[in-house]
Amino acid sequence: MIATGGTIASTPEGAGLAPTATGRELAEKVPLLDTLCELDFVQPMNIDSTNMRPRDWMRMAHVIRKAYARYDGFVILHGTDTMAYTAAALSYLIQDSAKPIVLTGSQQPMASPFTDAKLNIYQSVLYACDEESHDVSVVFGGQVICGARARKQRTMSFNAFVSMNFPPLAYLRNDRIVRATDPHPEPRDQARKPRFYDDLDERVIVLKLTPELRPSIFELLKRDYDAVIVETFGIGGIPAYDRSYQEAIFDWVDSGRTLVITTQVPEEGLDLGIYEVGHAYAEKDGILTGDDMTTEALVAKTMWALGQTHDPAEVARLFYQPIGHDRETR
């Protein structure tokens, strides 16, 4: 159990809730948890997940890599606000894991009389103990979601997370796992070797289009960023009332930087070929399309791809390679 802080570990402090409880203290409050398996604990940080950064994703990946041979599975206690980013990042930093890496947290602190923390921890460990579980996932509110498909959809409700554009892997009914599909048509290869990665490029930003956003923003971003993920309107609309957006975006790509186009609409994805206002970008070499991926996964995958190479062709190859069910395969 890798404890990192978050609401689940928080107690009232002078200026509001702040993470103080350790992973061991949290586990001790969960009934019947000790009947599932033997747990060891590590606490690489104890922070509000708002303060989670790519360097912290790397710390978690390093903890898992160092301990991988000694354990059957890993459960990460994490704040909910940036959990989807961390789950996506770990999906790229640790690929093809035959062992489960499960993230969970809670909407209410463990100390709250109405907490969801106990059931989320119990079901996360239950799922991590199951022989069919593998790779990175989020277990929350009775659902198991692929790490690269999770999104926090609600700020207060216990069913905070949804699986975007991909069905949940399983549902948890008290102490029972109901798998939605059979992820292993053949026996799982216990000897499968995971692939660990050690590099990320943090210079990635998300730019959400709004009416009258000035395309000169791209020039201002050049100093600090290597990649921009543009959240377009609808299915892929970029303003075309003059050529200023096209010129700014093409200049960004021609300067050797990375540009990813996605949609700010959460469900069903992108298709640049439908409307004239998006068609020009579908034919431009060097522009990557997010299709039905989540913005959280796009941020993490772009950081990962650029951490391996800055060659545009190789970045594109890595970006379009499906990893952990992160994008529709065509």
User: What is the rounded distance in angstroms from the CA atom of residue 41 to the CA atom of residue 34?
Assistant: 13
Domains annotated for the chain, with CATH where assigned, are: 2-191 (3.40.50.1170), 204-320 (3.40.50.40)
> For position 30, what pLDDT does the model report?
95
User: What is the rounded distance in angstroms from the CA atom of residue 180 to the CA atom of residue 172?
Assistant: 11
> For position 185, what pLDDT does the model report?
44
**Can you read off the two tokens belonging to residue 88?**
């996506």
The one catalytic residue in 4, 7, 104, 289 is 7
- Whether residue 80 is annotated as binding a ligand: the answer is yes
| Burial bucket for residue 157 (CB in 10 Å: 0-12, 13-18, 19+) | exposed
> For position 14, what pLDDT does the model report?
64
List the helix and strand counts (H, then E) for the chain. Answer: 9, 17
Residue 7 is among the residues annotated as catalytic for this protein = yes
User: What DSSP string runs through 153-186?
Assistant: --SSSS--EEETTS--SEEEETTEEEESS-S-SS
> For position 17, what pLDDT does the model report?
77
Among 292, 291, 261, 259, smallest CA distance to 277 is for: 261
Side chain identity at residue 283, one-letter code: E
Structural contact between residues 270 and 233, judged by C-beta atoms closer than 8 angstroms: no
| Burial bucket for residue 88 (CB in 10 Å: 0-12, 13-18, 19+) | buried
- Whether residue 34 is annotated as binding a ligand: the answer is no
The one catalytic residue in 4, 11, 35, 80 is 80
- Whether residue 199 is annotated as binding a ligand: the answer is no
User: What is the rounded distance in angstroms from the CA atom of residue 261 to the CA atom of residue 133?
Assistant: 33
| pLDDT per position as a tens digit, 152-180 | 999 888 889 999 999 999 999 989 999 98
Q: Which residues of the chain have pLDDT under 50?
A: 184-187
Q: Which residue has the tokens 């107690």?
A: 11
Length of the chain: 330
Structural contact between residues 327 and 293, judged by C-beta atoms closer than 8 angstroms: yes
Residue 80 is among the residues annotated as catalytic for this protein = yes
> For position 330, what pLDDT does the model report?
56
| pLDDT per position as a tens digit, 190-234 | 667 999 999 999 999 999 999 999 999 999 999 999 999 999 988
> For position 174, what pLDDT does the model report?
86
> For position 188, what pLDDT does the model report?
52
Where are the alpha helices (H) located in 192-310, listed in sequence order? 217-221, 244-254, 276-282, 295-308
**Can you read off the two tokens belonging to residue 292?**
């039905």
